[in-house]
């Protein structure tokens, strides 16, 4: 089929008539693909999502689905479903009735079967008759997802759907959601400020800043090859070292590049008092500042030899100085100019 899935072409959206919220965004979501738009708060994510849904007029550009320009297609005729951070369940209806909401017109047996299948998909077997008030936050969002999936939307639009939930809960939840989207072969566009959400759910990630897309890539490619320092910084790399600084710490980079230290890019060298440069272990000392106890390790803020602050994990309570080394695979080279 020609032009299968969603095509956003040079979409421009203003708010209050003259202020730019989405500044020429182009992206595709193929049938069955999950694409995440990842950007800081205020970068234009919700506005873009609302424009795709048809809730926000385009000042320029096109939104096309399966080859059909949606300019004249009403919101309700697009076959899209939008799911928000607060799942907005109907508190007075049971779980099953919430899930069945968008398929009320199906014959009863078919409807019940579909509800049960979806509850199974989101790992809520046996929840059909539960009251909404008895659900945890994670359960409620899974019910909201099942309800969104029930009508088999051509496109599911998700606005920060799980980022309000607490961390411990989210890891498993994101796994369940990822599976559910795949099992149902749902085509989805997710917008979020949350890296974990984007990396766990998306086949491809589009990084948005100030209403413009900075890079679109698979999660793996994005992480290993951020297109600019800005993208790398947003993903959690930093501090960034200039060429001579990186070299002094054992990593060669090209002219015009900087080295971004990843979250695991600095490693404590616990074993030996003597830190000697060698190809295997280019160790150096850093000054230790604030420390924080975490599960099974201590997180220390340290000052690198050139003055930048970085974080390092260590097993033992560090003294004033700590031996560390850069882990080349956990650092990225990015263009210095960007």
- Per CB under 6 A, the list member of 6, 8, 11, 21 interacting with ligand ADP is 21
Residue closer to Mg ion (CB basis): 43 or 121: 43
In angstroms, what CA-CA distances link 5 with 2, 23, 136, 152, 275? 9, 22, 34, 14, 56
Residue closer to ligand ADP (CB basis): 16 or 255: 16
Residue closer to Mg ion (CB basis): 21 or 34: 21
- Window contacting Mg ion (CB under 5 A); options: 45-53, 111-119, 249-257, 303-311: 45-53
**Peptide bond preceding 74 in cis form (omega within 30 of 0):** no
Restricted to residues 302-321, the positions that interact with ligand ADP (CB under 6 A) are none
Q: Any idea what DSSP says for residue 332?
A: E
In angstroms, what CA-CA distances link 23 with 5, 41, 189, 196? 22, 16, 18, 25
- Per CB under 6 A, the list member of 47, 98, 121, 192 interacting with ligand ADP is 47
Least separation in angstroms between CB 164 and Mg ion = 12
- Window contacting Mg ion (CB under 5 A); options: 44-52, 64-72, 278-286, 300-308: 44-52
In angstroms, what CA-CA distances link 294 with 269, 287, 313? 18, 20, 9
47 in contact with Mg ion (CB under 5 A): no
184 in contact with Mg ion (CB under 5 A): no
Residue closer to ligand ADP (CB basis): 41 or 129: 41
45 in contact with ligand ADP (CB under 6 A): yes
- Window contacting Mg ion (CB under 5 A); options: 14-22, 37-45, 53-61, 328-336: 37-45
Q: Quote the tokens at residue 280.
A: 């295997």
Residue closer to ligand ADP (CB basis): 44 or 318: 44
Identify the bridge partners of residue 27 per DSSP, sorted by sequence position.
8
- Window contacting ligand ADP (CB under 6 A); options: 14-22, 150-158, 250-258, 272-280: 14-22
Phi, psi of 142 (to 5 degrees): -70, -35
Least separation in angstroms between CB 21 and ligand ADP = 4
C-alpha angle 228/266/306, rounded to 5°? 75
- Per CB under 6 A, the list member of 7, 23, 25, 43 interacting with ligand ADP is 43
Q: Coil, strand or helix: which one is 12?
A: strand
- Window contacting ligand ADP (CB under 6 A); options: 44-52, 115-123, 212-220, 317-325: 44-52
- Per CB under 5 A, the list member of 46, 121, 192, 314 interacting with Mg ion is 46
Calculate Rg over the CA atoms of the chain: 24
Q: Number of residues in contact with Mg ion, rule: CB under 5 A?
A: 2
DSSP calls for 168-229: HHHHHHHHHHHHHHHHTT--EEEEES-HHHHHHH-SEEEEEETTEEEEEE-HHHHHH--SSH
Neighbours of 254 (CB within 10 A): 9
C-alpha angle 46/52/54, rounded to 5°? 100
Residues near ligand ADP, by CB under 6 A: 15-16, 21, 39, 41-47
């Amino acid at each position: 089929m020609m032009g299968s899935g969603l095509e956003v072409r040079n979409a421009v959206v203003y708010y209050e008539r003259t202020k730019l919220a989405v500044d020429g965004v182009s992206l595709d979501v193929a049938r069955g693909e999950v694409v995440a738009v990842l950007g800081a708060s205020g970068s234009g994510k919700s506005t873009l999502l609302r424009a795709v849904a048809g809730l926000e007029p385009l000042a320029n550009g096109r939104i096309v689905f399966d080859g059909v320009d949606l300019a004249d297609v009403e919101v309700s005729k697009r076959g899209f479903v939008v799911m928000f951070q607060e799942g907005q369940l109907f508190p007075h209806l049971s779980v099953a009735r919430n899930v069945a909401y968008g398929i009320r017109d199906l014959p009863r047996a078919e409807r019940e079967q579909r509800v049960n299948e979806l509850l199974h998909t989101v790992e809520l077997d046996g929840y059909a008759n539960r009251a909404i008030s008895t659900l945890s936050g994670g359960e409620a969002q899974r019910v909201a997802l099942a309800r969104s999936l029930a009508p088999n939307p051509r496109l599911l639009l998700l606005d920060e759907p799980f980022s309000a939930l607490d961390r411990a809960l989210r890891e498993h939840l994101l796994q369940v959601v990822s599976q559910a989207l795949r099992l149902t072969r749902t085509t989805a566009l997710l917008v979020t400020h949350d890296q974990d959400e984007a990396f766990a759910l998306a086949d491809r990630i589009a990084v948005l800043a100030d209403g413009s897309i900075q890079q679109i890539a698979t999660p793996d490619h994005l992480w290993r090859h951020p297109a600019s320092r800005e993208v790398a910084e947003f993903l959690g790399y930093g501090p960034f070292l200039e060429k001579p600084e990186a070299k002094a710490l054992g990593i060669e980079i090209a002219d015009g590049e900087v080295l971004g230290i990843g979250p695991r890019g600095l490693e404590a060298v616990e074993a030996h008092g003597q830190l000697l440069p060698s190809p295997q272990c280019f160790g150096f000392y850093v000054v230790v500042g604030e420390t924080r106890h975490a599960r099974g390790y201590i997180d220390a803020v340290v000052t690198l030899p050139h003055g930048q602050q970085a974080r390092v994990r260590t097993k033992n309570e560090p003294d004033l100085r700590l031996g560390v080394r850069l882990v080349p695979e956990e650092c990225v080279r990015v263009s210095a100019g960007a």
